[in-house]
Homo-oligomer: A and B are copies of this chain.
Amino acid sequence: MRYLSATLLLLLGATMAPAKLVTEAVTYKHGDVVLEGYLAHDDSFTGKRPGVLVVHEWTGHNPYVRKRAEQLAALGYVAFALDMYGKGVVAKDRDDARAKSDVFKKDRALMRARAAAGLDVLKKQSNVDGKRIAAMGYCFGGTVSLELARGGADLVGVVSFHGDLATPNAGDAKNIKGKVLALHGADDPFVPPAVVTAFEEEMRKAGVDWELVKYGGAVHSFTNPDAGNDNKTGAAYNARADARSWQAMKDFFVEVFAQKK
């Protein structure tokens, strides 16, 4: 009875203010490099609201990450899917993705600065509450989000989805201002147990408010349907882990943005 009435009333509520997704490609610069990100919000929510920076996989800014930005908009946030590589630049193949992401993996200062340029775009939006901004990312994007936080960026939260948790700057974890949620495939061969353990130790030593979730049966890229379904390749979609990690992220955002449920 209570289930039913709550559901009906929620449906009525949704009907009263239908979702109205608004998206925009945003061209911006980091130094001389021209970048193009993707901004999304839902006009059926009003007033200033939390902002979420979304960082793409090593393949570059693509439809997958834009879809995630739209899903975040539907939750009531302003989402900005930044661009690390350059306007229209996406990796041609796996080797190219490795080469493009390695530029940043080997130069963490550049990684932080390039991501910060994207964060600035989000901060400038008039409908964003600058005190409630989080960063999240997938694979390479998880690494970037964490590195941005290690650089001391004003983030209330960071979420890594199957990100590489390793860093050459473990001592910088003391600069992390927000909470950290790492969502990890328990069978991910690209982020092996030793890396996870080192990450936990890094967070522990720095006194960060952290949480790590391991999804049994999940490997790398578990949130991305484009990764296929063969765990043996080390990267595969896992619908169960995808749904659970998205829910974990939603719960985390409710907490870090201090919203009422």
Give the CA-CA distance A1 to B15 in the complex, in Å: 12
Q: How far is the CB of A202 from chain B (nearest CB, A)?
A: 11
* Number of identical protomers: 2
Give the CA-CA distance A186 to B196 in the complex, in Å: 12
A210 CB within 8 Å of chain B? yes
A44 CB within 8 Å of chain B? yes
Q: How far is the CB of A31 from chain B (nearest CB, A)?
A: 36
Of B7, B14, B45, which one neighbours A260 at CB under 8 angstroms?
A: B7
Q: Does B1 contact A17, Cβ atoms closer than 8 Å? A: yes
Of B2, B16, B208, B248, which one neighbours A13 at CB under 8 angstroms?
A: B2
Give the CA-CA distance A7 to B261 in the complex, in Å: 8
- Interface segment among A113-121, A139-147, A213-221: the answer is A213-221
A226 CB within 8 Å of chain B? no
B-side contacts of A251, CB under 8 Å: 244, 247-248, 251
- Residues of chain A at interface, number, CB under 8 A: 45
Most B-side CB within 10 Å, residue of A14, A187, A211, A244: A211
A48 CB within 8 Å of chain B? no
B-side contacts of A44, CB under 8 Å: 1-2
Q: Does A244 contact B204, Cβ atoms closer than 8 Å? A: no
B-side contacts of A260, CB under 8 Å: 7
- A87-117 contacts to B, CB under 8 A, are none
Given contacts A215-B211, A217-B209, contact A9 B7 (CB under 8 A): no
Q: Does A212 contact B209, Cβ atoms closer than 8 Å? A: no
What 10 pairs between A and B have smallest CB-CB spacing? Answer: A210-B216, A9-B9, A6-B13, A5-B13, A2-B17, A212-B214, A9-B13, A213-B213, A1-B46, A247-B251
